[in-house]
Amino acid sequence: MSSSYSEMGRLVPQVAAAALAVFSVIQLVVAVVQRKEERPFAGVVVKRLLVLAAGTVAYIVLILYLGFLFASFLFLMFFFWFLSLGQEERPGVLRMLLLAVGISLGFFLLFNNVFLVPLPQGLWFGG
């Protein structure tokens, strides 16, 4: 932490950081003493998880370039399709398409025209 903050400005960040450090050390000691084997990620399908996490980050970047409406459509369509891969019951492509178009367009119109929140137009579309 920068020491350039004033005395009162750094008080709480320092106290909170110190508390966090102390609790962490105690937690570490407790964990070592107890030696409980924990496997929090057991049974997780890593591919689904990572693709959704990365896809969400990509979605934000896409919004900046393609605008909210188009990026949302792509995001929804891709993940409706991707997450249903290999499932016993898959919704049909037409149903996914209608859902993706309906949701992205419906909310776009609601926020843009009713709530008057201007959603990003995207750099490629002059927004």
Partner 1 sequence: MSEHLMVALGNVFDPVNFLFLAVGVAAGIIVGALPGLTATMALALLVPFTFTMEPGMALMVLGGVYVGAIYGGCIAAILINTPGTPSAIATTFDGYPLTKKGKAEHALVTAAFSSGIGGIFGAIVLLLLTPLLAEVALKFGPPEYFWLAVFGLTIIATLSTGSMLKGLMGGAFGVLLSTIGIAPIGGDMRFTFGFHQLQAGVELIVALIGFFCIPEVLLMVERKFNRYGSVTYKPQKGVAKSVILELLRKPVLLLRSSVIGCFVGIVPGAGGNIAALVSYNEAVRFAKNKSKFGTGTIDGVAAAEAANNSEVGGSLVPLLSLGIPGAAPAAVILGALMLQGLRPGPELFSVFGGITYTFLISLIFANVVMFVLGFYGSRHIARLINLSPNLLAPMIVFLTVIGSFAIRNNMLDVSIMVFFGLVGYLTKKMGFHPGPICLGLILGPILENGLVQSMLLGKATGSMFHVFFTRPISMVLIVLSLVSVTLPAIASLRAWNQERKGGVSTA
CA 117 → CA 28, 30, 82, distances in Å? 47, 50, 30
The span from the CA of 83 to the CA of 53, in Å, is 12
Dihedral of alpha carbons 3, 5, 11, 12, sign:
negative
83 binds partner 1 (CB under 8 A): yes
Among 97, 120, 121, 127, binds partner 1 (CB under 8 A): 120
Strands (E), the chain: none
Please name which of 76, 67, 81 lies closest in space to residue 119, comparing C-alpha atoms. Answer: 67
98 binds partner 1 (CB under 8 A): no
60 binds partner 1 (CB under 8 A): yes
92 binds partner 1 (CB under 8 A): no
Contact footprint for partner 1 (CB under 8 A): 5-13, 15-17, 19-20, 23-24, 26-27, 30, 34-36, 38, 40-41, 43-45, 48-49, 52-53, 56-57, 59-60, 63-64, 68, 72, 75-76, 79-80, 83-84, 86-89, 91, 96, 99, 103-104, 107, 111, 115-120
